[in-house]
Chains A and B, each alone.
Chain A
């Protein structure tokens, strides 16, 4: 167990050493027949990785802040409706107490994670301590490079820009709750006084192996009045940009097929988040 970021990064310079935060993914590796690392460094006790720091222009989440703490901190705040919905619906109550925001972004084989699309829609960034110094990457960029980070790198925080946006998160599990969603749509928008879209960011999770932006749909919605029917129609016209992943829970075509319905729900959530 590391007591400081310096302790953790020193241990991580040993190639093959992996950071262990909430443990909810790593501890299942043996039962799922997945590769296990020979060495782990526990980072859950490092104080700065457990703080939530609210500043004027941004909010800094320590990488080990849990889903449950996100809900406690952000529920009921209209601007963060999407993030609270994502953190509050994932997995089950006990896992939400353990699983961390940094772990959720870093478990590269967890395709159905809720926080990556939510954080993409919020234009969040990730702060990494690397051997050469501290670096800030967009969440999208982090998702691209997370498999190839050099030994010694550690994500320390997630930075949320504070903007006057309205946000929503729509997910479709096959049961009412408790299982993995087959598809996720997160949306954040800034609307003008007449309800037109000034800025919009839409992200999709669980459909493809990594969460990603839906820029074709964002472009179509820009400048139009935001309403659920229009958003649904535009989503149907652009959903073929996704290639759904097949799995035992759902075939790939189904994940794509439900996207327009989730766009409608996410739009409704955005419009009601005041």
Chain B
């Protein structure tokens, strides 16, 4: 049964089996390869997207459950060609290393800062417990995120 959904503001339809994880549809069918398929069990956070404005690990979302929903991927953060403020501070602090975890981290922090724009260092770290960086670049990315809260 086809599933119709909005992805980054565009109406899309997938004919994949309803139990197919959303991450596979995003990457294989719609070529949105920002979200990464890594642990496939909701632990690493590399596939994090926004589903109706809320965080979701897309490896655990069956495509059949998202009919009519609004999906935002990391590609939506700079839709107008300009990096989001979060992306800008990350670039200024030279945070990105291998890049595998980074799209998920951007999506987690984008959602987190909408709810808590003035969060402190410990709260930022707590928000990131579901995003694992095997380059262990945590401190530098938290440093960058803290400058964003001070700026706002």
Contact = CB atoms under 8 A, between A and B. Distances in A.
Interface of A: 1, 20, 22-24, 27-28, 31-32, 40, 42, 44-45, 68, 91-95, 97-98, 176-178
A90 B108 CA distance: 17
B108 A93 contact: yes
B93 interface: no
B65 A44 contact: yes
A42 B60 contact: no
Given A91-B42, A91-B130, A95-B42, A24 B60 contact: yes
Interface string B1-41: 00000000000000000010100000000000000000011
A23 B41 contact: no
B57 A28 contact: no
A93 B59 contact: no
Given A94-B55, A94-B57, A42 B130 contact: no
Contact of A93 (B40, B64, B112): B112
B47 to A, nearest CB: 9
Contacts of B111: 93
Contact of B61 (A27, A28, A32, A93): A27
Nearest to A43: B65
Interface of B: 19, 21, 40-43, 45, 48, 51, 54-57, 59-62, 64-65, 67, 108, 111-112, 126-127, 129-131
B65 A68 contact: no
Nearest to B62: A23
Nearest to A69: B54
A95 B41 CA distance: 10
Given A1-B67, A94-B45, A177-B129, 18 more contacts: A27-B41, A27-B42, A27-B60, A27-B62, A31-B41, A32-B41, A40-B19, A40-B62, A42-B65, A45-B65, A91-B42, A91-B130, A92-B129, A93-B108, A93-B127, A94-B48, A97-B51, A178-B129
Q: Is the interface of A mostly helix, strand, loop or mixed?
A: loop
B15 to A, nearest CB: 16
Contacts of B55: 93-94, 97
A44 B129 CA distance: 26
Contacts of A20: 62, 65
Nearest to B104: A94
A57 to B, nearest CB: 31
A190 B45 CA distance: 40
Contact of B56 (A45, A94, A176): A94
A98 B56 contact: yes
Contacts of B61: 23, 27, 98
A163 to B, nearest CB: 31
Contacts of B60: 22-24, 27-28, 95, 98
A22 B56 CA distance: 10
Contact of B57 (A68, A98, A178): A98
A42 B69 CA distance: 15
A177 B126 contact: yes
Given A27-B21, A40-B19, A177-B126, A94 B64 contact: no
